[in-house]
Amino acid sequence: MSQAFAMIMAGGESPDLSVLTEIRAEPAVPFGGKFRLVDFSLSNCVNSGIHNVAILTQYRPRSLNDHIGIGKPWDLDRAKGGVRLLQPYQGGPFGGWQRGSADAVRRNLDYVLQQPEERVLILSGRHIYLMDYRPMLEFHIQSRAEVTVAVRRVSRHETYRFGIVRVDGDGRIRDFQEKPRRAPGNVANMGVYVFDRAVLVDALLQGDHVDFGHHLLPEMVRQHRRVFAYFYPGYWADVGTVQAYWEANMGLLAEEPALDLYDPEWVVHTRSYEKAPVKLGPQADVDGTILSNGCQIFGVVERSVIAPGVVVEPGARVRDSVILNDTVIRADAEVERCIVDKEAVIGVGARVGHGERNTPNKELPERLNTGLTLIGKGSRIPDRMVLGRNVIVHPGATEADFGRRKSIRSGSSVGRSQRNARR
């Protein structure tokens, strides 16, 4: 039996990812061509010998549920242990919608108490990293910790995005501040926790803590509980914004990327797509790009990540972009510095991501202001349409949503958000 069972938080709405999470839960967002974000936490578990995993869902879970299935790609289709999808429910003392990560676990305490392992590994479904959890579990046991928090050093310019901790010489956490405006240091919480199960259950029953980072862990530190920090030296990325998501994808194109997806000793497992091999046409020109199975490239693709089934027709150009599954980029279209979700169609001769970069998007001015343009799932960009930068095209937008316009100014949005639509 392994030393712990795992619970992966996968129910958040994540509005900072804009069109990518309008129609799916964040852990189901595609990444790196063929993967989903949740694949990394799941693969880390099975590669670490942890085969008892629960995934806690809530917001728009259908795509995530379809991807996980019975867990076969991760060898988690097991009668004992395996993967379990825990949905919100009505009735009983803990029924109702989850309000945060700690509350999500509280509402599944019956599951927690039924597991044979005495330690609980709490994970996020949106982080990208390759981590063996066994050394952290050993550290937790040897230090006699009640809680162990995985931490790493981050740039002082990014501390506002994370929980920041102060650690003494023995590795014990003495202060925990969630996303402070003025950080006392740069040691950041990774959102990877090991709890003694009895301690976790007691803490969740004693208080109405909503979130681990905002509420429960800072309170345990103030109570002088044995909360320790485990320093992780490897690559780790929180892709909770469109900029971070785009940068993490572009990072895979480096000559020696910090995230090694080709390590045979640490395979990232995922659900396979039954697609034909990649096809390059006679005039295709591909440079510095990741191509996934089923792609058909007849134009020019530079410094981009191309997911399965994408078609780039003759004369089309794609640069510095992330193009998701089964998108079609028609002849002579130009796509630059874009994130294009699944099954979109970029019309003949359209120019997407064009012009000046300085006008922030009106819907997400603080999150979409670096020149990225976002195209939602299933959208149709009309022939010869010109889209500026920092533009949002919401999922399912049709040619009718563009009206008679020939161009869309930078910082504009097209279509209606599906985030609050009935579902």
Superfamily (CATH H level) for 5-240 = Spore Coat Polysaccharide Biosynthesis Protein SpsA; Chain A (3.90.550.10)
Confidence band for 1, pLDDT divided at 50, 70 and 90: low
276: left (phi over 0), alpha (psi -120 to 50) or beta: beta
DSSP three-state, residue 403: coil
In the numeric block, which tokens belong to residue 278?
A: 């990649």
How far is Cα of residue 214 from the mean position of the Cα atoms in its chain? 20
Confidence at 357, pLDDT banded by 50, 70, 90: confident
> Where exactly are the structural domains of the chain?
5-240, 279-414
The pLDDT of 113-128, averaged and rounded, is 96
Q: How many CB atoms lie within 10 A of CB 290?
A: 20
Predicted pLDDT at 127: 97
360-416 pLDDT per residue, tens: 999 999 999 999 999 999 999 999 999 999 999 999 999 999 999 999 999 999 999
Q: Are 36 and 30 in contact (CB under 8 A)?
A: yes
Residue 8 CA to residue 99 CA, distance in Å, equals: 15
* Per-residue pLDDT band at 182 (split at 50, 70, 90): confident
Contact 102, 200 (CB under 8 A): no
pLDDT of residue 66: 96
User: What is the tens place of the pLDDT at every residue in 256-286?
Assistant: 999 999 999 999 999 987 899 999 999 999 9
What's the DSSP call for residue 302? E
Spatial distance between the Cα atoms of 145 and 167, rounded to a whole number of angstroms = 14
Collapsed DSSP state (helix, strand, coil) of residue 225: coil
Residue 157 confidence (pLDDT): 83
d(CA 174, CA 221): 6
Is 144 exposed, middle or buried (CB count within 10 Å of its CB: 0-12, 13-18, 19+)? exposed
**279-414 has the same fold as 5-240:** no
Tokens for 8? Answer: 């992966």
Express as a percent the part of the chain with pLDDT over 90: 88
- In this predicted model, what pLDDT tens digit does every residue of 22-67 receive, in sequence order? 999 999 999 999 999 999 999 999 999 999 999 999 999 999 999 9
Name the residue among 141, 126, 134, 135 with its Cα closest to residue 37: 126
- Residue 180: pLDDT band with limits 50, 70, 90: confident
What pLDDT was estimated at residue 421?
59
The first and second tokens of residue 237, run together, are 């990325």
Check pLDDT > 90 for residue 80. Answer: no
CATH architecture of 279-414: 3 Solenoid (2.160)
Report the distance separating Cα 209 and Cα 103, nearest Å.
Answer: 7
Share the mean pLDDT of the chain: 95
Angle CA 232–233–239, to nearest 5: 80
Q: Is the pLDDT of residue 423 over 50?
A: no
Three-class SS state of 387: strand
Cβ count within 10 A of residue 361: 24
Query: How confident is the model over 65-79, as pLDDT tens digits?
Result: 999 999 999 999 998
Burial class of residue 162 (count of CB atoms within 10 Å of its CB; 0-12, 13-18, 19+): buried
Which is higher by pLDDT, 300 or 92? 300
